[in-house]
Homo-oligomer: A and B are copies of this chain.
């Protein structure tokens, strides 16, 4: 680093892209309605300035809690956006973080002021402030890539789920049909999903399915030692 003490007028923000999933709404992303200039009343990703003594990830977690009332255990750094004119106020670079939440957190969230934070289906997005459309686009790409080599369902599904839930999550995200038999065989061969001895209550017509859940231990183990399983789909 060449380190003359340059006077630099750059500020640093974080933005958080949080994806959620449930049966009705499909794959959604959390947005907030801006209450201040610029882009007042437009939808934007939750985020804000990094404080002097916190890490970037902590900043993203804090902003999520402040602006949307949700706590996320695990955020992954996505990309840093730094074009000089991406914010009309000043030179502001933004480090984007990426997270997944269970569908059970949806209801939790509905408790907060619905006008200021909301889930949007990723295929039906409003106009977004700043370069947030670009950021979100990149996040969706990453999500789609991730799902092919990591069992993402763990973060997105309820603790107990039907196999068809997992199928549908994958189909919605990939935007195409997948073969149920092949998919199940592959997923089960990973040993991450275990069959429970419970049947789901039959919600509609049709044969009720068994419940499944993720084997958290195995999941963590594999995540740590960096499982490079062949493409899942």
A: residues with CB less than 8 A from B are 1-3, 6, 8-13, 15, 34, 36-37, 44-56, 63, 66-67, 77, 79-80, 82-84, 89, 91, 93, 95, 130, 230-231
Least Cβ–Cβ distance between A231 and chain B, in angstroms: 8
5 cross-chain CB contacts under 8 A: A2-B49, A3-B48, A3-B89, A8-B11, A8-B49
- Given A8-B12, A10-B11, A77-B79, answer yes or no on A84-B53 (Cβ-Cβ < 8 Å): yes
Judging by beta carbons under 8 Å apart, are B52 and A8 in contact?
Answer: yes
A230 cross-chain contacts in B, Cβ below 8 A: 231
The 5 closest A-B pairs by CB, nearest first: A56-B82, A2-B48, A80-B80, A1-B48, A6-B49
CB-nearest residue of chain B relative to A45? B1
Least Cβ–Cβ distance between A145 and chain B, in angstroms: 9
